[in-house]
Chain A
């Protein structure tokens, strides 16, 4: 069995420093890895990233993250990524990592993702350049996730995104904003590989549980949804250890 802790949308800045730390100190006893589903900061500044590094660094378990839309707000993504990586946090964007645990190899592929909407009610690659650019961003992001997932050689595969791959976990959000909360292409990418679990954030008023059309379990781990420092999932009963 592999134990995965996960949370998203923690939106750190100076005023939040230390709030998560007491719960995070318990992680080595209850989880093998911590996955962060983006929106680590409020505005995506280097100083906010330092708060993330301080709060989520040096935890005694590997920490793997994707960025969210808030982390892009100030156009400082390379600096944000560097601060996080200097703190030992792995940042995924169309990439993956395989972590070795006694129970087996956990593969995590991640991408921020993008909006676009869900089957039958989504934006199309048609019309104005701005609309085509929007949908192509969605498609490229989903393609990168699919490739990263299919490229990992592991015993248990997890997809990590900020935007949602399914509408199920958006229940509670206004229907009108679903196209800004996720896209079906992410779900399609997740279903293109033997994914065991998909984790995302972004939808603060959504709900925890859903599945992709292919049957992969999806969990919205946005902090306002889970209402605790992180959730813990036990997977891989078939694995020894």
Chain B
């Protein structure tokens, strides 16, 4: 699912990128260390995978709340949890 947020402001700088990266790890409501924040001309893109749709929504909500003027694109997936169909033989 890709979602867009914000708009209007100029491109975010490195400090915003750093703050968002830390927010994702340090905010107890998020606690994600596996999300990549990439600066693009038109704003920030969040990549990565999380364990539930709720966590994906919470990430976008918290970042938008903290940086309401930064255009955010979220391309965060939910990790599949199906049984494996193949095994790895290690002779």
Contacts and interface: CB of A to CB of B under 8 A. Distances in A.
Q: Report if A and B associate in a common complex.
A: yes
Interface stretch (B11-19, B63-71, B78-86): B78-86
A204 B49 contact: yes
Contact of A10 (B49, B51, B80): B51
Nearest to B85: A228
Contacts of B81: 19-20, 23, 223, 228-229
Contact of B87 (A20, A217, A232): A232
B84 A224 contact: no
B51 A229 contact: no
Contacts of B49: 204, 224
Interface in B30-74: 31, 33-34, 36, 48-49, 51-52, 54-55
A224 B34 contact: yes
A234 B88 contact: yes
B51 A23 contact: no
Nearest to B80: A227
B28 interface: yes
Nearest to B52: A15
A137 interface: no
Nearest to B84: A228
A229 B88 contact: no
A185 to B, nearest CB: 22
A197 B89 CA distance: 12
A228 B91 CA distance: 23
Contacts, number: 75
A227 B89 CA distance: 18
Given A228-B84, A235-B90, A43 B79 contact: no
Interface string A1-30: 001000001111001100110110010001
Nearest to B35: A204
B31 A70 contact: yes
Nearest to B49: A224
Q: Which of B31, B81, B82 has the most CB of A within 10 A?
A: B81
B12 to A, nearest CB: 19
Contacts of A204: 33-34, 48-49
A229 B82 contact: yes
Contacts of B34: 9, 204-205, 224
22 contacts: A9-B34, A11-B31, A15-B51, A15-B52, A15-B55, A16-B51, A19-B51, A19-B52, A23-B83, A23-B84, A30-B83, A205-B34, A224-B48, A224-B49, A228-B82, A229-B83, A229-B84, A230-B84, A232-B87, A234-B89, A235-B90, A237-B91
Q: Return the 3 tightest CB-CB contacts between A and B, nearest first.
A: A204-B34, A23-B83, A232-B87
Given A12-B51, A227-B80, A233-B90, 20 more contacts: A9-B34, A15-B54, A16-B51, A19-B51, A22-B83, A23-B82, A197-B90, A204-B34, A205-B34, A217-B90, A223-B51, A223-B79, A224-B48, A228-B83, A228-B84, A231-B88, A233-B87, A233-B88, A234-B89, A237-B91
